[in-house]
Structure 1
Amino acid sequence: MTEPGSPSDARARSARYTGLAGAVLLTVAAWLGGAMPTVPPAGPGAMPYGPAALGCWLLGTALMVGAWWSLRHGAPSTRWAYRTAGLWLLPLLAAPPLASRDVYSYACQGWAYAAGRDPYTVGVAAAGCPWVDSVAPIWRDTPAPYGPLFLLLAALAATLGGGLLGTLALLRALALAGVLLAACCLPGLARACGVPVRRAAWLGLASPLVGVHLVAGAHNDAVMVGLLLLGLLVLVRRPGRAPAAGRLRRLLAAGQPGALLVAGVLLGLAVAVKATAVVVLPFAALAAVRGRHTVRALWRDGGLLAVGVATALLGVSVLSGLGLGWIGGLARSGDSQQWTSPPTAVGFVVDYLGELAGREPGAVPVARAVGLALLAVLLVALWWRAWTVLRGRDDARPEPAVGPRTSLFAAGVALAATVALAPVLYPWYATWPLLVLAVSASRTTWFTLPCAVAAFLSLPDGTSLARYTKAPGAIAMTALLLALAVLAVRTLRRPRTPDPA
């Protein structure tokens, strides 16, 4: 049954089967030239079926992106959105690793940990992983940049899998579980924020980035996002909405201290998978506040949330036996330099100009440092604005959805800023803000359009297109940043029309 304002049946049916055709073509591309467990080929020309694989990849991506984009304002119904997203995932589940070789790194890091090595001090090559030839060369000698919870899960997959193929299958099952967990959380979060569920479900689950990278690519971002959304769902459950039966469900719905501790543990586990989730914690503290947003209430409720986060992080660190060594592994995650990261692109362009003047290149580290400094400022500004808005609306007695929507939208924007200003940017990073903004944003084009573009940035074997377009890509990215800066300045300088009395 369709909902008011939904697209026509013909349009929806066309989108469903167009996207399915795209998913099938992407699966064919994966078998022809995907990230097979062999030494990585040097681009599409080295694949046995390079032209065919590339053609299926480009056409399949275009079909999936076009179908997703055509219903960006909402699917006919929530059930229809779930069924269609699931239909698109079926062929991708039958594909070999697609668009990335990271899953082989996961497998080797899990093997190394299970074999008694410390993945935070040695690379998988030095650890003696038998599958090291499947790992991308750039990551063979680097320590693991992931949290201890994910290393425990990867080690379990390597132990139970028995071999590389079994380990890959279990890692993909783990990623699928993360996506299913996120799918279960989307309706509750969307309702809490006053966003149409059919739109949130479609944007969050039918995106090609989710099917191709989180499921077919088996990225651990799926587990991180699933835990993150579940933690946020616990926070935004409003009093009195839980059914009478079930002590735990009543506890979570009533906003009692136990709910905050549970939410904190879930958010802490998300950080223990991938440290990026830490960006959401200050905004989760705002969502944790019940009643008026006062400093005392923030310390009370945010403090309980922080206790849950710290308990999870310390508990997993102790359980793994690796302590806090995982923090040091984050330092090597920026070894790759690609223009898809805006700060890195600016550094490239400055270096190009410097070479014309006879200067040695070295602007990339500086540009990245400036980007991180700007990110820190933006995160503080976003948090303060959200806090100010929430305090101001306490007196106005707004509808119940305003509080959760303000906190979650700020969290989504914070994740988007983190993706944009990080030293490296891979297509699947865009799923972090996508799934949070899908349930909290009123306008969607500004974040769905970059996600659509990101779907084209990698090849089926995991090679990044940025590798072959370094100079033109960096120049284009820098030009885009300058255009956005000019637009922002003009918008800020535009006189505002006073509100009518």
Structure 2
Amino acid sequence: MTHPDAPETPPRAAGLARWAGLAGAVLLAVAGYVGGALPGATATKVWNSGDGPLTVALWLAGTLLLTGAWWALRRGAPSTRWAYLTAGLWTAPMLVAPPLGSRDVYSYACQGWAYANGVDPYATGVAGAGCPWVDAVAPIWRDTPAPYGPVFVVLAALAATVGGGLTATVVLLRAVATLGVLLAALCLPGLARAAGVPTRRAAWLALASPLVGVHLVAGAHNDAVMLGLLLFGLLVLVRFPGRPRALVVAGVLLGLAVAVKATAVVVLPFAALAAVLGRYTVRALLRDGGWLAGGVLVALLGASLLSGLGLGWVAGLHRSGDTQQWTSPPTAVGMVVDYLGELVGWDRPAVPVARAVALVLLAVLLVLLWCRAWSALRGLNDVRQRVTRLEAARPRVALLGAGLGLTATVVLAPVFHPWYATWPLALLAVAARRTTWFVVPAAVATFLALPDGTNLARLTKAPGAVAMTALVIAVAVWGLPRLRRAGSPSGDAR
């Protein structure tokens, strides 16, 4: 039976999508050279430069072509091989483009330089560290400590040491990010097969997305490294559940992912579900989950001690919320409350309160999602004839739970940047049966940033905050009654 989300794609339509996407990728690369995140362009915004109109036109046309082509085949490419080749074709222009959509790679370079030169990047910003490339860093991040784990700081230091200059360091950091994407690409077919999802659809959604090419490859974001390690660890789990050595290896990989970016910690409770072999009991969870947790701790403690950086990076996480943009739903709600407060003379900021409430809600949602997944798997213990069904359901329930957990994290986080959408996208691509509910937001996210790193949310603060708040209310009214189906092995969030 043909999967409802993966019908056959007419060859002519697939070919048109392939070449339209390639044209879009080329236009984006050209836009990067005309007005992208070049090292000396921090002072002048793209719309104020002489080539501003041309840059925006190229960027908009390229984004429309690339996103439209990806959307056209959202139900599945003609084959897995075709999906990989096309995604690679679209990525090629990104490999030779300047940094696109963000200036974060320059922050990475300076943080790596600081560590390589004996300065603790968790204790001081890159300006205070004396980085020679600080002028390329976005002004808002020049005085903030690094919020990334010790594994990535060490990788950035290696890139800065080997590269010597800024351009070579950026090239090496992009190479590291590309390796992360390649590692994730190698893991996708195994994870999709384990979850019962067509590999040609999973590969297409996770690799051909413009967010991957523009932000993970061209932008060289460390999210690529985190995702590569995360998917590798999960693949080991679904292939070798219940085997102590494999569980420790998987734990080390997942721990390394957390030591790149703390977001990966959300996946760990769901990974423990994938670690269990046989019947789901508390004893089995503690036994197999214990081996997994041991590997995670070994990786985290080893990275912290061997790098000499300790856990200082944890303290830097709170500075990531320094910006206020309506693309984060809780921040948007707080902004609207502040606007209304101004009308009645209320001067106490509501954004911190809204963010705090959202984090509490996130904790509750993660617990509910995990309990729902646990209950679904426990329910398959009761009938002996369901043993085969249990083994088939375990990977998908765990992966879907992890994907939904990352979705909740992205939605309720204090800040949102377009590349954050790649976190849930990678897992939902291999686990979700229905795709529109997460493909639409990912497609919208591709339009939020300009090539020089300017977030369009900054230009539309009030109307954007009002629109996002209205969307939050609509989703809450419509979606909360359906939340009970989120972790079920027989139905997805929609």
Q: Normalising by structure 2, report the TM-score.
A: 0.95
Question: Which residue in 2 is equivalent to 1:479?
Answer: 470
Aligned residue pair count: 477
- Deviation of 1:113 after TM superposition, in Å, equals 0.3
Counterpart check, 1:428 vs 2:415: no
Within the candidate set 259, 274, 289, 1:272 is matched to: 259
- Residue 188 of structure 2 is aligned to residue 198 of structure 1: no
Q: Which residue of 1 aligns with 2:280?
A: 293
Q: Map Cα deviations across residues 254-305 of structure 1 (whole Å, 9 max, x no partner).
A: 7421000000000000000000000000000011001111000000000000
In the superposition, the TM-score normalised over structure 1's length comes to 0.93
The answer to whether the Cα contact below 8 Å between 1:317 and 1:323 also exists between their aligned partners in 2 is yes
In the TM superposition, what whole-angstrom CA distance separates every residue of 1:159-179 from its partner, at most 9, and x where no partner exists? 000100010000000000000
| 1:38-187 mapped onto 2 (5 Å cutoff) | 38-187=40-189
Distance 1:112 1:18 in 2: 42
- Counterpart of 1:279 in structure 2: which amino acid? V
For residues 41 and 12 of structure 1, the distance between their equivalents in structure 2, rounded to whole angstroms, comes to: 42
The one-letter code sitting in structure 1 at the alignment partner of 2:261 is K
Deviations 1:91-132 (A, max 9, x none): 111100000000000000000000000000100000000000
CA contact (8 A) 1:6 1:77 kept: no
Partner of 1:326: 313
- CA deviations on 1:169-202 (whole Å, 9 max, x unpaired) are 0000000000000000000000000000000000
User: For the residues of structure 2 that align with 1:174 and 1:492, how far apart are their CA atoms?
Assistant: 38
CA–CA separation in structure 2 for the residues paired with 1:331 and 1:454: 23
Q: C-alpha deviations, 1:219-273, integer Å up to 9, x for none?
A: 0000000000000000001xxxxxxxxxxxxxxx474210000000000000000
Q: Which amino acid aligns with 1:259?
A: A
Instruction: State the alpha-carbon separation in 2 of the partners of residues 64 and 386 from structure 1.
Output: 35
Cα offset for 1:361?
4.2
Whether the aligned pair in 2 keeps the contact of 1:260 and 1:305 (CA below 8 Å) is: yes
Tell whether the 8 Å contact from 2:381 to 2:390 is kept in structure 1 after alignment. Answer: no
Q: Secondary structure at the match of 1:7?
A: coil
| Residues in 2 aligned to 1:197 and 1:394: alpha-carbon distance in whole angstroms | 28
Instruction: Work out whether 1:316 is the aligned partner of 2:307.
Output: no
Q: Which residue of 1 aligns with 2:228?
A: 226
Structure 2, unmatched stretches of 5+, are 485-494
**Separation in 2, partners of 1:258, 1:488:** 41
Q: Which amino acid aligns with 2:478?
A: L
Of the three residues 413, 429, 443, the one matched with 2:434 is 443
Instruction: Answer whether contact 2:37 2:98 (CA < 8 A) is retained.
Output: yes
Seen in structure 2, the aligned counterparts of structure 1 residues 490 and 408 have a Cα distance that, compared at 3 Å, is: closer
Distance in structure 1 (CA, Å) of the matches to 2:483 and 2:156: 48
Partner AA of 1:431 in structure 2: T
Contact 1:124 1:143 survives alignment (8 Å) = yes
Q: Distance in 1 between matches of 2:312 and 2:140?
A: 21
Corresponding letter in the other structure for 2:245: G
- Indicate the residue corresponding to 1:306 in structure 2: 293
- Superposition deviation, residue 401 in structure 1: 2.5
Counterpart of 2:402, as a letter, is: A
Q: Is contact 1:32–1:48 with CA below 8 Å preserved after alignment?
A: no
1:383 is displaced (CA, Å) by 0.4
What runs of 5+ residues in structure 1 fail to find an aligned partner?
238-252, 494-501
The question of 1:349 aligning with 2:351 is answered no
Which residue identity does 2:455 align to in structure 1?
S
Identify which of 353, 368, 385 aligns with 1:366. Answer: 353
CA-CA distance at 1:460 after TM superposition: 0.4
**Distance (Å, rounded) in 1 between the aligned partners of 2:458 and 2:95:** 27
The equivalent of 2:372 in structure 1 is 385
Measured against aligned partners, the alpha-carbon deviations of 1:415-460 in whole angstroms (never above 9, x if no partner) come to 0000000000000000000000000000101111000000000000
Aligned residue identity for 2:191: L
Match of 2:362 in 1: 375
Match of 1:248 in 2: none
Offset of residue 395 of structure 1: 2.7
RMSD of aligned residue pairs (Cα, Å): 1.5
After superposition, give the CA deviation of every residue in 1:367-411 in whole Å (9 maximum; x if it has no partner): 000000000000000000000000002234116331100010000
Question: SS state of the match for residue 121, structure 1?
Answer: coil
Tell me if the contact between 2:377 and 2:390 (Cα under 8 Å) persists in the aligned partners: no
Aligned partner of 2:211 in structure 1 is 209
Q: Is the 8 A contact 1:100 1:462 kept in 2?
A: yes
Determine helix, strand or coil for the equivalent of 1:292. Answer: coil
Q: Is the 8 A contact 1:263 1:305 kept in 2?
A: yes
